[in-house]
Amino acid sequence: MAQLDPTAIDLRFTGARGGLARLGRIRVPGWLALLLRNPKSRTGLLIVGFMILIAVIAPLIAVAHPNDFNLLAAKQAPSWHHLFGTTDQGSDVFSQVVVGARRSLLLGAMAGAIATALAAVLGITAAYAGGIVDEVINVLTNVFLTIPPIPLLVVASAYLKARGMVTMAMVIALVLWAFEARILRGQALSLKSRDFVLAAKSAGESTPRIVFGELMPNMISRIAAAFVLVFYIALLVDAGLEFLGLGDMSATSWGVTVYWAQVNSTVLQGEWWPFIFPSLALGITVLGLVLILAGIDEVSNPRLRTERVSRKRRLAVLFAGRAAA
Amino acid sequence: MRWFARRLGFYVFAIWIALTVNFLLPRLMPGDPIAGVLQHLSSAQIAANPGIIKTYQALLGGGHHSIWADYVTYLGRIAHLNFGVSTSNYPTPVSEVIGRTLPYSIFLVGVGFILSFAIGIAIGMVAAWRRGGFTDSVVVPAFMMIGAFPAFFLALLGLYFLGLKAGWFPIQHAYANDIVPGFSWAFVSSAFRHSQLPIITIIAAYAGGWVLNMRTVMINTISEEYVAMAHAKGLRDRRVMTRYAGRNAILPPLNGFAALFASAVGGLVFVEYIFSYPGVGFTLQQAVLGNDYPLAQAILVVLSVCVIVANLIMDVLNFVLDPRLRNS
């Protein structure tokens, strides 16, 4: 089932060579050139790159401090003066979205990175060590998959008094590592009987050395894909918790802006802008990440590429293949 | 049968771990949750419920007993479904609050999730069968886009455009205010009407995952020899799609059903909160904001058990559909 997994890729086997490739005049790493050649991942990379750029230059393009309020300018629909309108308190929604991108993206990336590190160490160790270690980690992973993550996070963050960025990233990562560990374990299993692992083993290398020195470097593209996956799930989960009022409500982020829109029931009053713009920013970022994954998937599994093939022709190819075999 | 016994053993173990996580959670977190809970009760209310403090201490910690004694009391109370009194619904016991709200949630997520599965599988199957056709090039990307947006956003969009602007659906609560819940036609039709928008939201949020999953598996299945064989026999196209390729391609997505169900239970929290739908998700959000930890903890236990039961049902279904499991 490995080829069905969006993260089951190894770009080294798909024609991407190490080192640099040419893309027009610019020299870029081989894997990037490969992803840029696929229309889906190209679009995804552009979207995510754009969002990161916005987050980086946020202080330059925000027209006001995100929490500045002005009751005289409250509840204004989008206009040239307030591009995304204003909130109930008269804060500028555009500034909130732009500045909020920083916290949202950073928290998502942090949670994704912690979860990926945990999952990579546990999943790959389980696959390589086998036996009782594998049993224990595998059962633990599967048990964690049966506890619904959002309710668990809701209850866990309810006990937290201070919900800083690092704390929230860690809590989210601790809940999300399990399903990533399952994916990486499956992929490490298919790698563990390769010659280079057997060679290292017969040379007397220790388990940690083989896991960190042999398996992990060879799975780096798969680990990166798994990171993209958890990154976007963490983005959604974090915004969701903030939306329920379970984040750092004094901070500026996409989820917090939607939370205040909901608390002030702006939707019921017909004000769509305070919730639509931050949610769109979140959704478009997630879409970008999903497209990157879909592109990776197509690069590694050519069958998935969309092409118009008539039924007759497909059958002809199919039977020709059988005849030749 | 041995496979089945193994699964059953795993679920018992999973429930035990879920209970233990639930037990440890308030004890590992900083702060004193029990003080927060007792704040909401007057001394007269505490006096009226003998044993309530002991129950709370077993659930949340903070007593003078050893952690092991607490653990034994905790498991005992849970076995008797005694989660104490809900402070935000005083004097209703937690178990009664859950008993009242759970049916709404099971209905919402059950219908919504099964429909999203059926719709997603059908679209994914057709998209893979007619590569590059309308379904593949328009419907699939549309579902992919919708699926990228958070569940709360889809719910808010539905509330605003379909409920508020178009006025097609009622936007809040599970039934009209002037109706008493019961087995009357008025109640059932009102409840059905109020569940439509939340269910549409759940379908929109979760069908996309099935579409992509089914499409991928189906594309790989189509190039199998038995599909070519079925074509060669001269069977009708539709029959080959559903009975040959589709029937085999459905197994991997079905295996993922349980894992996605756990995440759909999370989506339920948002959907119920936005539509003020009186299920356990909405109750959980209210409990957490009101420091009603006994209620929140109990809901987490109940939701974990629900996910495990769903897993079990899926296993039985898998057993029926997959002859390889039956014969091994």
In terms of DSSP H, where are the helices of A244-306? Answer: 254-263, 273-300
- When CB atoms are compared, the residue of B29, B131, B152 closest to A243 is B152
Interface of A with B in 253-282 (CB under 8 A): 258, 262, 267-268, 270, 272, 275-276, 279-280, 282
Cβ(A42)–Cβ(A72) under 8 Å?
Answer: no
| CB count in 10 Å sphere of residue A190 | 12
- The region of weakest confidence among A13-27, A149-163, B95-109, B222-236 is A13-27
User: What's the mean pLDDT in A170-199?
Assistant: 86
With a cut of 70, say whether residue B45 has pLDDT above it. Answer: yes
Taking an 8 Å cut-off on Cβ atoms, the answer to whether B262 and A1 are in contact is: no
With a cut of 80, say whether residue A77 has pLDDT above it. Answer: no
With a cut of 70, say whether residue B103 has pLDDT above it. Answer: yes
Alpha-carbon distance values, A52 to A48, A83, B180 (Å)? 6, 20, 52
With a cut of 70, say whether residue B107 has pLDDT above it. Answer: yes
For chain A, the average pLDDT equals: 79
CA B66 to chain centre: 35
- Nearest Cα of chain B lies from the Cα of A59 at a distance, in angstroms, of 26
Cβ(B284)–Cβ(B269) under 8 Å?
Answer: yes
Rounded distance, CA B85 to CA A178, Å?
Answer: 34
User: What's the mean pLDDT in B176-181?
Assistant: 73
Cβ-Cβ contacts under 8 Å for A74 (sequence gap 6 or more)? A86, A87, A88, A89, A90
Cβ-Cβ contacts under 8 Å for A124 (sequence gap 6 or more)? A184, A185, A188, A211, A215, A216, A219
Taking an 8 Å cut-off on Cβ atoms, the answer to whether A155 and B216 are in contact is: no
Taking an 8 Å cut-off on Cβ atoms, the answer to whether B274 and A262 are in contact is: yes
Query: Terminal CA-to-CA distance of chain B, rounded, Å?
Result: 8
User: What's the mean pLDDT in B140-149?
Assistant: 85
Structure confidence at residue A10 (pLDDT): 44
Alpha-carbon distance values, B17 to A64, A285, B197 (Å)? 49, 35, 35
Q: Which residue has the higher pLDDT, B236 or B63?
A: B236
For chain B, the average pLDDT equals: 83
Measured between beta carbons, the chain B residues lying within 8 angstroms of A148 are 262-263, 265-266, 303-304, 307
Closest chain B residue by Cα to residue A297: B216
For chain A, say whether B166 makes contact (Cβ under 8 Å). Answer: no
Q: Which residue has the higher pLDDT, B141 or B176?
A: B141
With a cut of 60, say whether residue B309 has pLDDT above it. Answer: yes
For chain A, say whether B289 makes contact (Cβ under 8 Å). Answer: yes
With a cut of 70, say whether residue A234 has pLDDT above it. Answer: yes
- The region of weakest confidence among A16-20, A118-122, B103-107, B159-163 is A16-20
The region that residue B316 occupies, defined by phi over 0 for left and psi between -120 and 50 for alpha, beta otherwise, is: alpha
Rounded distance, CA A271 to CA B207, Å?
Answer: 28
Structure confidence at residue A220 (pLDDT): 81
Measured between beta carbons, the chain A residues lying within 8 angstroms of B299 are 151
Rounded distance, CA B118 to CA A252, Å?
Answer: 40
For chain B, say whether A142 makes contact (Cβ under 8 Å). Answer: yes
- Nearest Cα of chain B lies from the Cα of A201 at a distance, in angstroms, of 33
- Nearest Cα of chain A lies from the Cα of B41 at a distance, in angstroms, of 19
With a cut of 80, say whether residue A266 has pLDDT above it. Answer: no
Dihedral of the CA atoms A221, A223, A229, A235 (nearest 10)? Answer: -120
User: What's the mean pLDDT in A81-90?
Assistant: 72
Per-residue pLDDT band at B256 (split at 50, 70, 90): confident
Closest chain A residue by Cα to residue B19: A147
For chain A, say whether B301 makes contact (Cβ under 8 Å). Answer: no
Q: Provide the angle, in degrees to the nearest 10, between the axes of the packed helices B52-60 and B67-79.
A: 110
| CB count in 10 Å sphere of residue B101 | 22
With a cut of 60, say whether residue A324 has pLDDT above it. Answer: no
For chain A, say whether B13 makes contact (Cβ under 8 Å). Answer: yes
Q: Out of A253-262, A294-303, B39-48, B58-67, give the one with best mean pLDDT.
A: A253-262
Taking an 8 Å cut-off on Cβ atoms, the answer to whether B262 and A245 are in contact is: no
Instruction: Give me B68's structure tokens.
Output: 């092991």
Structure confidence at residue A106 (pLDDT): 92
Measured between beta carbons, the chain A residues lying within 8 angstroms of B288 are 154-155, 158, 244, 246
Taking an 8 Å cut-off on Cβ atoms, the answer to whether B150 and A154 are in contact is: no
Measured between beta carbons, the chain A residues lying within 8 angstroms of B131 are 306-309
Per-residue pLDDT band at A5 (split at 50, 70, 90): very low
CA A100 to chain centre: 18
Q: Give the rounded percent of residues in chain A with a pLDDT score beyond 90.
A: 12
Rounded distance, CA B322 to CA A73, Å?
Answer: 63
Helix (H) or strand (E) holding A302: none
User: What's the mean pLDDT in B170-193?
Assistant: 76
Measured between beta carbons, the chain A residues lying within 8 angstroms of B148 are 232, 283-284, 286-287, 290
Rounded distance, CA A253 to CA A245, Å?
Answer: 12
Cβ-Cβ contacts under 8 Å for B233 (sequence gap 6 or more)? none
CA B22 to chain centre: 18
Measured between beta carbons, the chain B residues lying within 8 angstroms of A271 are none
Structure confidence at residue A27 (pLDDT): 67
Per-residue pLDDT band at B137 (split at 50, 70, 90): confident
Cβ(A275)–Cβ(A267) under 8 Å?
Answer: yes
Q: Give the rounded percent of residues in chain B with a pLDDT score beyond 90.
A: 5
With a cut of 90, say whether residue A110 has pLDDT above it. Answer: yes
Taking an 8 Å cut-off on Cβ atoms, the answer to whether A318 and B228 are in contact is: yes
Per-residue pLDDT band at B85 (split at 50, 70, 90): confident
3-state secondary structure of A202: helix
For chain A, say whether B234 makes contact (Cβ under 8 Å). Answer: no
User: What backbone torsions phi and psi does residue A21 show, to the nearest 5 degrees?
Assistant: -120, 165
Rounded distance, CA B221 to CA A31, Å?
Answer: 29
Instruction: Give me A304's structure tokens.
Output: 């998935």
Structure confidence at residue A145 (pLDDT): 82
User: What's the mean pLDDT in B156-162?
Assistant: 85
pLDDT tens digits along B223-237: 888 888 888 888 888
Rounded distance, CA B267 to CA B142, Å?
Answer: 20
Looking at residue A78, what DSSP letter applies?
P
Interface confidence (ipTM) of the complex? 0.86
Rounded distance, CA B182 to CA B274, Å?
Answer: 25
Mutate to test the interface with A, among B229, B263, B315 (most CBs of A within 10 A): B263
Cβ-Cβ contacts under 8 Å for B183 (sequence gap 6 or more)? none
Instruction: Give me B281's structure tokens.
Output: 């998700």
| CB count in 10 Å sphere of residue B204 | 21
Q: Which residue has the higher pLDDT, B206 or A315?
A: B206
CA angle centred on A140, ends A155 and B17, rounded to 5°: 50
Measured between beta carbons, the chain B residues lying within 8 angstroms of A244 are 269-270, 273, 285, 288
In terms of DSSP H, where are the helices of A203-272? Answer: 207-209, 216-218, 220-243, 254-263
Chains A and B form CB pairs within 8 A to the count of 170
| CB count in 10 Å sphere of residue B229 | 12
- The region of weakest confidence among A18-27, B121-130, B202-211, B220-229 is A18-27
Cβ-Cβ contacts under 8 Å for A182 (sequence gap 6 or more)? A123, A141, A142, A145
Rounded distance, CA B149 to CA A236, Å?
Answer: 8
Structure confidence at residue A63 (pLDDT): 72
Cβ(B201)–Cβ(B169) under 8 Å?
Answer: no
Residue B162's closest CA among B204, B123, B122, B208?
B204
Measured between beta carbons, the chain B residues lying within 8 angstroms of A282 are 149-150, 153
- When CB atoms are compared, the residue of A151, A283, A315 closest to B153 is A283
Per-residue pLDDT band at A11 (split at 50, 70, 90): very low
Residue B276's closest CA among B141, B188, B177?
B177
Dihedral of the CA atoms B150, B154, B156, B157 (nearest 10)? Answer: 140
- When CB atoms are compared, the residue of B147, B228, B307 closest to A319 is B228
